[in-house]
Structure 1
Amino acid sequence: MSEGLARDHLRASEGPSDPAWDAFVVATAGGDVLQTTRWAEVKREVGWRAARLSFERDGIVLGGCQLLLRDLAVGRSIGYVPRGPLASQGDRTVTDAVLEALTDFARRHHVLYLKVQPPVNREDMGATLLRHGFVASGLEAAPTATVRIDLRPPEEELLAAMPASLRLHIRQARRRGVTVRSGGPADLGAMAELIAATARRQAGFAAYPARYYEHMWRSFSAIGQARLLIAERGGAVLAFALLILFGESALFKAGGWSGLESRAHPNELLHWTGMSWAREHGFRYYDFDGIHPTVARAAQEGRVLPQPAANRVPHFKLRFGGEVTFFVPAYDFTPQRVMRWALRGVAPRLGGRRAIAGRLLGRS
């Protein structure tokens, strides 16, 4: 630890509750729901446990990170830090100290492979990670781009930013009897069925078990940070959207569609309703929480979008008029030399297969 941080206290925490840490994440630039203890509890449903490393001075958190760990055989594990580490006011000295503690933790706790995806807008962290022994990652386990709609303009302007065909579909959905309502515990069974139907129909969509999405809704709705929207027609549930509310954003974290009633356009009305609700409740952004990077890059550069094959979701998200945002690239740390060699061989083959890489490395 540097001399400037000699008075700081390193605190390690693995418990399910850490109010001081969560308060720091909410208050810090770049703070993300993926760094909260509630998200760690959701990931526990699919085999991950969490450890938090935080630096404090007089009881105030200065920086740190939440690390997700998946245990392997014989006391080994792999680790993932999504949208971290965080530091108050982006303090680079604090960031250095956190990374020093993180790599030391990886060595002492036999973490064979560690992935770090820095916070949004912290491109400067790349050089710092390289200095601490990380290398640019060849494995894409989480979204590297997203689409965000700025909700501050009037609704008329938001609609005007969409293609005329999408505005028509929203109106047609209403005329054809589609309604969108708030969901609750009684809808969790239908939500699970819609996720399963989507996974069967949509190429490249690897769904988690139903209990994962149910835990996500229960955990965040308990503190008023989740909104479940259900699209119906004639009493039949057609689609759902699960929004996680954090900071300035309503994040589209999960969704599903039966595949039925496509001419009634339930998904178009579903997301427009989500945008309208988020705007009315003071959120600045409606975030689709991920888009295929090839499509995102083409959209950002003004090129003709790649033609959709079986999966039309990226094109659907772009139709709502949002801005494409790229995340800071991920970096990897492997304490053992033999693992570095293995990673160099495996990464190029897995890098383009996001569903597999996500399963292995903790898709967000």
Structure 2
Amino acid sequence: MEACLITDVRKWNTFIASSTFGAITQTYEWGMLAQRADSIPLYCGVIDEAGNLCAAMLVLAMRLPKVNNSYFYAPRGPIMADLSSPAFSLLLHFVDSLARKHNAFMLKIDPVVHEHDIAALQAFERYGFAATDSFIHERGEWVLDIYPDEKQQLANMKEKWRYNIRLAQRKGVKIRRGHGSEDIQLFHTLLQETSERDQFFIHAVDHFEYILSLFERDDNAALFLAEYEGKAIAGIIVMRCGDWCWYRYGASSSQARHVMPNHLLQWTGLQWGREHGCTHYNFMGIPAVLTETEGPKDPNWGVYTFKRGFGGQAHCAMRSQEKPYNLTVYRLYNLVRQLKHRYASARYERSELARKRQEYTVKKVEEPVPVR
């Protein structure tokens, strides 16, 4: 076996598509997307005696601002059948050699494997990794099996979700495939409204133009727009790799929400995945705590209840793994990261306290004055 950088795009993507859990963020195109954001993609692979790929890991060399260091990050890697095989050792030694060339102070991996995979955990520990709760790619995802029979798919949904899909159709919501700059701009305008409403970061419109230009080539991505009375009111971008389909981005207007466009959009995304032979539909991020008593405190709880209405189950990946190369820089980075986390947590707690005070004030104002 030999470890090397892989330049054959088709060979790489064919192997990535064979992954059990799927890994759109390990595809060749994802590395090209990261390169646009000033990261350096390194397509690290192990070739066996027959000349076939037997292990692969897209590693992104990510430069830290204002310092002469970078760190390596593997989003949902490595891809291989058995992490206890010699190929994993060979792959990691090759990545270590590249780290010296790129002055990387650590290798960070958000593994694609399940959290209860003991053999995988032992393999990471054996090669000097330590688990951390700091992640880039969220561990918790909501996964739905795609059934060949649409009636069975509908039967597994909550009754209200089936009703909402049909309601949108009866109300005249039309779903169409989006193409070109004009449709991407329509989607981005909706996304801007969504981000202002729900307070999250979004990329510029050219980021989404580039995503679709990369992944639409082999029909591995699709933009769907929901229109009502001739106006776009919601949209999603779905992507696929191997047996898996992902709901990657979603946007919706505050107007015409009563016609339930998002239910019909997700149903369209499911059908698109089924038509391409996918067996799993990944709704992606869900809260870390899923109990009814604790979960509703999470700002993503409403999104989670929407996703689970379609049926499916929670999937939690293994904790993020980090292997330091330069302990001094790594410890300094860890300290800064902890301080940022504390600041973000304190800011969130203050905003929650302000929200609760506002709710209490509104409630007191709305309460009728007792007659004496």
Q: Compared with structure 1, are the counterparts of its residues 152 and 178 closer, same or farther at alpha carbon in structure 2 (3 Å cutoff)?
A: same
Superposition map of 1:80-159 within 5 A: 80-88=73-81, 90=83, 92-121=85-114, 123-152=118-147, 154-159=149-154
Deviation at 1:18, TM superposition (A): 3.1
CA distance in structure 2 between the partners assigned to 1:151 and 1:28 by the alignment: 17
CA RMSD of aligned residues (A): 2.6
Look up the SS of the partner of 2:285 in the other structure.
Answer: coil
CA distance in structure 1 between the partners assigned to 2:170 and 2:183 by the alignment: 24
1:233 aligns with 2:228: yes
Deviation at 1:238, TM superposition (A): 0.8
Superposition map of 1:175-254 within 5 A: 175-185=170-180, 186-203=182-199, 205-254=200-249
Superposition map of 1:254-293 within 5 A: 254-293=249-288
Deviation at 1:127, TM superposition (A): 1.8
Deviation at 1:318, TM superposition (A): 1.5
Q: Compared with structure 1, are the counterparts of its residues 118 and 238 closer, same or farther at alpha carbon in structure 2 (3 Å cutoff)?
A: same
Look up the SS of the partner of 1:288 in the other structure.
Answer: strand
CA distance in structure 2 between the partners assigned to 1:273 and 1:213 by the alignment: 20
Could you tell me whether the CA contact under 8 Å between 1:29 and 1:89 is conserved in 2? no
Q: Compared with structure 1, are the counterparts of its residues 199 and 274 closer, same or farther at alpha carbon in structure 2 (3 Å cutoff)?
A: same
CA distance in structure 2 between the partners assigned to 1:23 and 1:68 by the alignment: 20
Superposition map of 1:50-89 within 5 A: 50-58=41-49, 59-72=51-64, 73=66, 75-88=68-81
Deviation at 1:231, TM superposition (A): 0.4
CA distance in structure 2 between the partners assigned to 1:100 and 1:221 by the alignment: 35
Counterpart in the other structure of 1:324:
314
Deviation at 1:153, TM superposition (A): 5.8
Answer with 1 or 2: which has the greater Rg.
2
Deviates more, 1:235-244 or 1:18-27: 18-27
TM-score by length of 1: 0.84
Deviation at 1:270, TM superposition (A): 0.9
CA distance in structure 2 between the partners assigned to 1:339 and 1:138 by the alignment: 19
CA distance in structure 2 between the partners assigned to 1:23 and 1:137 by the alignment: 31
Q: Deviations over 1:330-364 (max 9, x none)?
A: 1012211223323443444555869xxxxxxxxxx
Counterpart in the other structure of 1:358:
none
Q: Compared with structure 1, are the counterparts of its residues 19 and 309 closer, same or farther at alpha carbon in structure 2 (3 Å cutoff)?
A: closer
TM-score by length of 2: 0.83
Counterpart in the other structure of 1:33:
24
Q: Aligned partner of 1:52: which letter?
A: Y
Q: Aligned partner of 1:313: which letter?
A: V
Counterpart in the other structure of 2:33:
42
Match of 1:314 among 296, 304, 307: 304
Identity %: 24
Q: Deviations over 1:4-32 (max 9, x none)?
A: xxxx222125x6x6333223222344552
Look up the SS of the partner of 1:146 in the other structure.
Answer: strand
Q: Compared with structure 1, are the counterparts of its residues 351 and 137 closer, same or farther at alpha carbon in structure 2 (3 Å cutoff)?
A: farther
Q: Compared with structure 1, are the counterparts of its residues 137 and 178 closer, same or farther at alpha carbon in structure 2 (3 Å cutoff)?
A: same
Superposition map of 1:284-363 within 5 A: 284-295=279-290, 298=291, 305-306=295-296, 309=299, 312-350=302-340
Deviation at 1:305, TM superposition (A): 4.4
Q: Compared with structure 1, are the counterparts of its residues 123 and 103 closer, same or farther at alpha carbon in structure 2 (3 Å cutoff)?
A: farther
CA distance in structure 2 between the partners assigned to 1:309 and 1:29 by the alignment: 31
CA distance in structure 1 between the partners assigned to 2:152 and 2:295 by the alignment: 24
Q: Runs of 5+ in structure 1 lacking a partner?
A: 1-7, 355-364
Q: Deviations over 1:211-235 (max 9, x none)?
A: 2222111111111211211100011
Could you tell me whether the CA contact under 8 Å between 1:85 and 1:98 is conserved in 2? no
Look up the SS of the partner of 1:198 in the other structure.
Answer: helix
Q: Runs of 5+ in structure 2 lacking a partner?
A: 346-372
Look up the SS of the partner of 1:120 in the other structure.
Answer: coil
Deviation at 1:271, TM superposition (A): 0.7
